[in-house]
Structure 1
Amino acid sequence: MDNGSNQGTTWKDAGFSDASWASGNAQLGYGDGDETTVVSYGSNSISKYITTYFRKSITVADASIFTGYTINVRRDDGIVVYINGTERYRNNMPTGTIAYNTLAATTCSDDGGTIQTGSIPSGALVTGTNVIAVEVHQSDITSSDISFDLELKGNTSSATAVIQRGPYLQLGTSSSVIIKWRTDIATNSKVSYGTTAGSLTSSANDAASVKDHEVKLAGLSANTKYYYSIGSSTQTLQGDANNYFITAPIVGTEKKTRVWVTGDCGNNSTNQRNSRDKYISYLGSNYTDVWLLAGDNAYNSGLDTEYQTNFFDIYKDKMLKQTVLWPAPGNHDYANNATRQNDHNVPYYSNFTLPKNAEAGGVASNTEAFYSFNYANIHFVSLDSYGKESNSYRMYDTLGPQATWLKQDLAANTQKWTIVYWHHPPYTMGSHNSDTETELINVRQNFIRILERYKVDMVICGHSHCYERTKLIKGHYGNESTFNAGSHNLSSSSGKYDGSASSCPYEKNVSSSYNGTIYVVSGSSGQLGGTQSSFPHSAMHYSDATNGGSLVIEIDQNRLDAKWVCADAVVRDQFTVFKDVRKTTNITIQSGQNTTLNASWVGNYNWTTGATSRAITVSPTTNTSYSVIDNFSCVTDVFNVTVIPARIADLNFGTDTVLTPALEVFPNPFEDKTTINYSIPFAGQVTLSLQGLNGELNKVVVKEFKEAGYYSFTLRASELDISAGIYLLKLVCGDKEIQKKVSVVK
């Protein structure tokens, strides 16, 4: 009954006649756009009906078989449920007697999107006809919407639970993981697990009877594959060879790590499914170690029902049950709602369990809105670019809680690689415009300086429904028109590292203070399309708003490879980053010894010796320089090996051996610094001097008594105040003397 009338008290009784009432299928209501049957609020939009009444007759063949009932309702705002004239359930309503003009206790924050669950005793229904009567109350006469739906399930002693969601993995570390799932009826929780499929000898349990299950497995071994099953103490719901995960390695370990990134994915589209399927095909038999979500994970409003159909149902067969998921929220996860932006009362936070107390590394954020975690030698940071902290501060407010925490977290980070991800991008000309949208302008002008200061390697965003990618850049804070490739790009390369022109890897070395960040917009894993008039953005090396896909990142020691795997299986963009490469290494060995030389990068190798392995072992008899270069002639390492005489203790002096000092200088010539190695065959006064060829200079660098042995020290031309030229290095020990010419170049 939706005419605003006072139905009194008899309307809920079994004998009441509702023949004149309108009828329709659920969901019933108005104002949200998801109603199957729209009800009336009256003729005055600022004085709407407070109460709407509903009745339903059902037939129960044998009520004695049920031990009780589970009621599931959607309500906006408050609800009272009567069965056969007796109140059996009340939600978001005040205590005491309910009248037709009683307002709901509070405004329903989820717009009826969250299922509310209760229990009904076994005697509430009878064999035969039963009447369910419901009154739904608004919290305010100007409320914009009303929602109602109801499900009543009978429970038997042998009731079998059915999985509705999951299983899915959360908060994985080297020794623990959380497994979550949802069932249609409440049961206790049990996870059995082990390192051999079919032999799950360990278990973790929770005695609480719930529908949304969450079980933590602890005491696990690092970097180990575990199989698992889920269910209750009386029932196994799922658990076969496809139910497994691999624990994280010990933090800091240089393990090859594969990361999957999906942005703006949750719209239940063909593009979403194809992006998923083509990534799985690309993956083959390999394992995905980390899964990142870049926000807008469930369209259109982040409702629990939307998460179910547009996210959990899409990824349930492989990805959710095998790989730990680390999400970031977007504006659609907050329903684009200013109230939710402040109170964070959205399904995102009940669906995911995230590390607010530094359970997976990093600095504790004390909130699930933003957090960090470590995996192998990578530090990940997930940020919230839409929600507010303390009802005021956004991510880009540099004195706010989120930015303050981020600075502390990045300052404490010791991992080789740092990847930061959130939803709103600083640079884009796809479906959003970073020159005109205030949120994006603030991120660019205020926030990314923090990331540059702490040498963040890669930033990943969504929001714009396309793919866009910069080169290694720094210092661009203005509008698109102010981007200067010559000053903002730290490399002219495409970074594709495929042998094409100007495609060498980006490098971040100590010599360049590890400067530069690559920005990626990967917002087309579900949503797709839309561009601004100036698309592509000038800062972007590659942009595509036509093809959807997902981002794949593979990190192995000091090498990062990223590929954009499209929904048609084509890899349309890729780039590589090296860290701490292009090295010159000076090594000193004794005559007769060998040494192993290791190239500084992961990849392919061509040594001057002809070898093609990463490491080679050499045993030169004289001072020798070795070099190694990659197949595309992008990176070279140089190794200067100095060979010195054997130490005195190692020499075999026969009766005919002439005991003379030994002297080696390397490198020679040198600009400022060189290493002098010398050996003394007997104890005595030692003098080492540097002299001009014409006798105009005599710099004594060593003059003291020394025992027989081997000695080495570094000579610096700047400290001796000598200019470029050729000099004579003279070593005198007793009546023995040895000389060597050295050349100083400037």
Structure 2
Amino acid sequence: MKKVKLLLLTLLLPILAIAQETQPAKKPVTKKRGPLMGIQADLLRGPYLQMATPTSMTVRWRTNVYDRSRVKYGLSADSLTMRTDDSTLVNEHIVTLKNLKPSTKYFYTVGNLADTTLQGDAENYFYTFPETGSEQLVRIAGFGDCGNNSINQRSVRDQVVNYLGDKYLNAWILMGDNAYSDGTDAEFQAKFFNLYKDNLLKKYPLYPVPGNHDYHDFNSSPANDQNKIAYYQNFSLPTQGEAGGVASNTESYYSYDIANIHFLALDSYGPDKKGTHIYDQMGEQVEWVKKDLAANQNKKWVVAYWHHPPYTMGSHDSDKESLLVKIRENFIKTLEDGGVDLILCGHSHVYERTKLIKGYYGKEADYDAKKYEVSSSTALYDGSKNSAPYLKSKTKTNGTVYVVSGSAGALGGHKETWPHNAMYYSNNEVGGAVMLEVEGNRLDLKWICSDGKIGDHFTMMKDVKKDEEKTLMQDKKLTK
């Protein structure tokens, strides 16, 4: 009997094989699941954009399970003809798109290697940065002390979006205290990523710096190991000069270029590898700042930003708080001597703005307008009396404007001597964010408030012709 069964099986196998070969080919089925059988990979965070340059963009997102990464992209939303894959199983997805064209709009989706799209629609797009040195118009928004999940945070966000309308924002920066109160990953999720995911994070590349609250990640006490706090886990930052500037070899501080602007993003709270801080002249960060400024003298504009301000009488007192005193007395001269045009800080939950000043490193009572103001103009450039723009030369270190903008979330407070004597304009009643608009030799800063108004603004120009300077000093506007 066994021999009969074996004979029948031998005869049937070729027939079955022929039948299988003659079946019509089935179309491949696109799997809709992640690598763990039966578990769908769901999007928990993002997408958000990092480390933008004229020819590259880094896209990040987080999933609930480990999955492989795919970004599909193209020049129109319905034709995503390019893709970048990463076969590594991760739940923190970091994909860098390379060989892009400058000043070009790209649409994109994020997903996995099974071609599942986790997120992507016609509103998923970005523009690469203009070529370095370009004089075309660029916009950069600045948010200070934003991550507290408040009504004010939402109002400021919405008014920035309203201001933009259909205009593009080339980048946005954070001036620290990005997730209250301790900078934990859960706080970053609830108070930062969830609030900005739909209208800012997926369109506009982000360049942040940390504040003191971002360092309170380990059991609500300052973290000793910088690289393990949530801030450094959540952001991808240029350390090797890949976005412009001198390599810093650390994510604590770095630099980058947008068109004809050079930015320095600094850490005013955490220690460097040697245990020194931003105010230590022999520290690693200060040494790097000096090298970076020296290497970028050819840039039309230089902007530096960090968390702790050298001058404020808002919710913090720059006369009495030792960190602020040390920054003012020991550090900012380095930036002024290096030709920095604008310094942006947060920490104090107000808005404050100086005129164009230089050489003032003392207490509030020491401020002497005649001695320290390079220009007495308001720089409003609106036709009012004494409103000419601040005029500078690219080859001279003639003054810096200091702005405190720490009310994009947290709001209010003031010290006894509010407003600070060095400030032209101060406001602790409404929140806001700054909008920097730069085109060629003109820089404009606007403070966009939570009520939709522009609370303050000023204009700075560089290397204007003599006849143009004469017109400007008569409080008249230049005609193009």
Give the TM-score normalised by structure 1. 0.58
Rg: which structure is higher? 1
Residue identity in the other structure for 2:250: T
Distance 2:290 2:382 in 1: 36
Kindly indicate whether residue 118 of structure 2 is the aligned counterpart of residue 237 of structure 1. Answer: yes
Instruction: Name the counterpart of 2:336.
Output: 452
1:163 matched residue in structure 2 = 43
Q: Quick one: distance in 2 between partners of 1:315 and 1:547?
A: 20
Q: Once the two structures are superposed, what CA deviation does each residue of 1:635-658 show, in whole Å capped at 9, x if it has no partner?
A: 789xxxxxxxxxxxxxxxxxxxxx
Say whether the 8 Å CA contact 1:252–1:376 is kept in structure 2: yes
Shift of 1:330: 0.3
- 1:160 shift after superposition: 2.0
Local SS of the residue matching 1:209 = strand
Q: How does 1:138-149 map to 2 (within 5 A)?
A: none
Structure 1 vs Structure 2: percent identity of aligned residues? 50
Distance 2:98 2:478 in 1: 45
Structure 1 partner of 2:463 = 580
Q: Distance in 2 between matches of 1:351 and 1:526?
A: 20
C-alpha spacing 1:316/1:520, structure 2 compared with 1 (3 Å) = same
- 2:241 alignment partner, one of 335, 343, 358: 358
Which residue number in structure 2 is paired with residue 140 of structure 1?
none
Aligned counterpart in structure 1 of residue 291 of structure 2, from 381, 405, 408: 408
Q: Within 5 A, what are the aligned runs for 1:147-226?
A: 157-226=37-106
Which residue does the alignment assign to 1:659? none
The answer (yes or no) to whether the contact 2:274–2:283 under 8 Å persists in 1 is no
Give how far 1:466 is off: 0.4
Residue aligned with 1:314, SS: helix
1:301 aligns with 2:204: no
Aligned to 1:553: 436
Partner Cα separation in structure 2 for residue 443 and residue 630 of structure 1: 34
Q: Is the 8 A contact 2:227 2:233 kept in 1?
A: no
Which residue in 2 is equivalent to 1:608?
Answer: none
- 1:417-432 matches, cutoff 5 A: 417-432=301-316
- Partner Cα separation in structure 2 for residue 319 and residue 516 of structure 1: 33
Contact 1:342 1:388 in 2 (8 A): no
Q: How do 1:636-655 residues align onto structure 2 when only pairs under 5 Å count?
A: none
Identify if the C-alpha distance between structure 1 residues 423 and 197 changes in structure 2 by more than 3 Å, giving closer, same or farther. Answer: same
Instruction: Tell me which residue corresponds to 2:153.
Output: 272
Q: Which residue of 1 aligns with 2:204?
A: 323
2:402 is matched with which residue: 497, 514, 519?
Answer: 519
How far apart, CA to CA, are the structure 2 residues paired with 1:346 and 1:498?
Answer: 45
Q: Distance in 1 between matches of 2:446 and 2:224?
A: 33
Matches within 5 A, 1:431-580: 431-509=315-393, 513-580=396-463
Residues 155/548 of structure 1: CA separation in 2 closer, same or farther (3 Å cut):
same
SS at match of 2:228: coil
User: Is the Cα–Cα contact under 8 Å of residues 136 and 259 in structure 2 kept in the other structure?
Assistant: yes
Question: Which whole-Å CA distance do the structure 1 matches of 2:236 and 2:394 have between them?
Answer: 38
Match of 1:288 in 2: 169
Judged with a 3 Å threshold, the aligned counterparts in structure 2 of structure 1 residues 284 and 158 are, in CA distance, closer, same or farther, namely: same
CA–CA distance in 2 between the matches of 1:524 and 1:636?
Answer: 33
Amino acid of the residue matched to residue 369 of structure 2?
A: A
C-alpha separation in 2, matches of 1:569 and 1:219:
39
- Equivalent residue of 2:198, what SS? coil
Q: CA deviation at 1:391?
A: 5.1
Maintained 8 Å contact 2:146/2:177: yes
Maintained 8 Å contact 2:387/2:475: no
Q: CA deviation digits over 1:228-266, x for unaligned, max 9?
A: 000112210111110000001111111101010000000
CA deviation map 1:417-467 (0-9, x unaligned): 000000000000000000000000000000011011011000000000000
SS in 2 for 1:282: helix
- Of Structure 1 and Structure 2, the greater helix share is in 2
Aligned ranges 1:593-742 → 2 under 5 Å: 629=471, 633-634=475-476
Distance 2:165 2:478 in 1: 33
8 Å CA contact 1:343, 1:391 repeated in 2: no
Q: Secondary structure at the match of 2:44?
A: strand
> Structure 1's 292 and 220: CA in aligned 2 closer, same or farther, altered over 3 A?
same
How many residues align structurally? 442
SS at match of 2:433: strand
2: CA distance between counterparts of 1:342 and 1:350?
A: 12
Native 8 Å contact 1:373 1:380 kept in 2? yes
Query: 2:60 & 2:93 partners in 1: Cα distance?
Result: 5
Question: Which ranges in structure 2 are unaligned for 5 or more consecutive residues?
Answer: 1-33
| Secondary structure of residue in 1 paired with 2:46 | strand
Q: Distance in 1 between matches of 2:36 and 2:282?
A: 57
Are the structure 2 counterparts of residues 289 and 157 from structure 1 closer, same or farther at C-alpha, using a change threshold of 3 Å? same
In structure 2, C-alpha distance between the alignment counterparts of 1:534 and 1:553, rounded to whole Å? 29
Structure 1 residues 510 and 523, CA gap change in structure 2 (3 angstroms): closer
The one-letter amino acid of 2:323's match is: E
Is the contact between residue 138 and residue 439 of structure 2 (CA under 8 Å) also seen in structure 1? yes
After superposition, the C-alpha distances for 1:162-221 in whole angstroms (9 at most, x for unaligned) are 211000000011111110001112211100000111100000001112111111100111
Task: Specify the code of the residue in structure 1 equivalent to 2:447.
Answer: W
Larger strand proportion, structure 1 or 2?
1
Query: Which secondary structure state, in structure 2, belongs to the residue aligned with residue 463 of structure 1?
Result: coil
Q: CA deviation at 1:345?
A: 2.3
CA positional deviation for 1:389: 1.0
Counterpart amino acid of residue 319 in structure 1 = L
Q: 1:335 aligns with which of 216, 229, 241?
A: 216
Distance in 1 separating the partners of 2:82 and 2:35: 30
The question of whether the paired residues in 2 share the 8 Å contact of 1:344 and 1:387 is answered with no
Work out the CA distance in 2 between the residues paired with 1:212 and 1:583: 55
Separation in structure 1 between the aligned mates of residue 393 and residue 52 of structure 2, nearest angstrom = 31
Contact 1:342/1:387, CA 8 A, preserved across alignment: no
* Secondary structure, aligned partner of 1:273: helix
Instruction: Using structure 2 for the length normalisation, give the TM-score.
Output: 0.89
1:392 to 275, 282, 291: 275
Secondary structure in structure 1 of the residue aligned to 2:178: coil
* 1:257 correspondence with 2:138: yes
CA, structure 1 residues 156+381, in 2 after alignment: closer, same or farther (shift >3 Å)? closer
Q: Which structure is richer in relative contact order (CA contacts within 8 A, separation 6 or more)? A: 2
Aligned to 1:67: none
Letter in 2 for 1:365: S
Q: Matched residues in 1 for 2:335 and 2:224: separation?
A: 24
Q: Secondary structure at the match of 1:309?
A: helix
